[in-house]
Amino acid sequence: MKSTTEKPSSIAVDWGTTRFRAHLVAGDGRLLESVDSDEGMGQVRDGAFEAVLAHRCEPWLLAFPGLPVLMAGMVGSRNGWREVPYISCPAGLADIAAGLASVTTSGGATVHIIPGLVTADAAADVMRGEETQILGAGVDDAVVILPGTHSKWAIVRAGRIETFRTFMTGEFYNLLTRHSVLRLLAEPQADGSDTRSAFQAGLDAAAADGGLLSSAFRVRTGVLSGRLSPRDVEPYLSGLLIGSEIARAIELAPPDLPLVLVATGIVAVNYSQAIKAAGGAVTVVDPERVLVNGVLRVARHNKDTSNVRPD
């Protein structure tokens, strides 16, 4: 961890089910230092949240006493450090900042946890962490797409998150590629091999056909009949699932709103290709970047974290 002489504004933490990511953030949002570990919610035993924070961020906490620590993600869930009640949609920066809950560590540090959101409709769909990324995207009117294990599509108008919907796309991919009969047909991709055509074939199948229950089986028949290479099974399934998500989500997205995709790497490539194939266009923003921006925006709108300098 490199040392820094610049006075940071805060420590921004993205603490989800599988990862712990912390950033020492300058007043202008630049990342001065970062740490990343696999100590997600699922890994923390006996509620030892403070121990993880102390272990990963000790140098920062010692060097900058009183520096506000802000966290987003499942850390605010029932099984997290402290359960923070969901804020009901529609919700904007002020609503979310007002819902901030805090924990004081034995070391005297104050940890502020950003609340998640619940939709106002009967589905009562929920998110924790994505609300901060959406705020960080800084869009007034857009459909913000956050791919993942449980992908979110959020409708933002006048800077407020009106509603959103979850798709279990990443989880279904894991189920089919790790636990289903289809896993037996798959072979790993050769390094650097082109997966675009197999992914596109999956997109085409999702667009053409009636339902995942039927189209997923086409992977098996495709390999049996030689139409599909075992190495194409995973990108094909990825295309099939992402294509299915987008086919549904596009129907729900107000056509007057631009699409903003919060993704990087292969996920950004896949979703961009899929949305383009569905006739849409997206602006891609970096997940880490918008998370940190969102944390700073929330911090600056909460009196307890007012020592986070404004831009």
Residue 57 token pair: 């961020």
Q: Does 183 bind a second copy (CB under 8 A)?
A: no
Q: What part of residues 114-153 is at the interface with a second copy (CB under 8 A)?
A: 118, 122-126, 150
What b/e string do you get for 18-43 counting C-beta neighbours within 10 Å, with b at 16 or more? Answer: ebbbbbbbbeebeebbebeeebbbee
| One-letter amino acid for residue 12 of the chain | A
Residue 63 CB, nearest approach to a second copy (Å): 38
103 half-sphere exposure, CB direction, 13 A CA radius = 17
Q: List alpha helices for 109-261, DSSP H.
A: 130-137, 169-178, 196-208, 212-215, 217-224, 233-252
Q: Does 175 bind a second copy (CB under 8 A)?
A: yes
Stretch that binds a second copy, among 5-13, 59-67, 94-102, 171-179 (CB under 8 A): 171-179
- How many positions of this chain bind a second copy (CB under 8 A)? 41
Q: Does 247 bind a second copy (CB under 8 A)?
A: yes
Give the other-Cβ count within 10 Å of 87's Cβ. Answer: 20
Q: Does 238 bind a second copy (CB under 8 A)?
A: no
Q: What part of residues 3-32 is at the interface with a second copy (CB under 8 A)?
A: none
Residue 108 CB, nearest approach to a second copy (Å): 34
Residue 253 CB, nearest approach to a second copy (Å): 12
Q: Does 305 bind a second copy (CB under 8 A)?
A: no
Residues 78, 82, 85, 90, CA torsion sign: negative
Binding site for a second copy (CB under 8 A): 118, 122-126, 150, 165-169, 171-172, 175-176, 178-181, 210-214, 216-218, 220-222, 224-225, 227, 241, 244-245, 247-248, 251-252
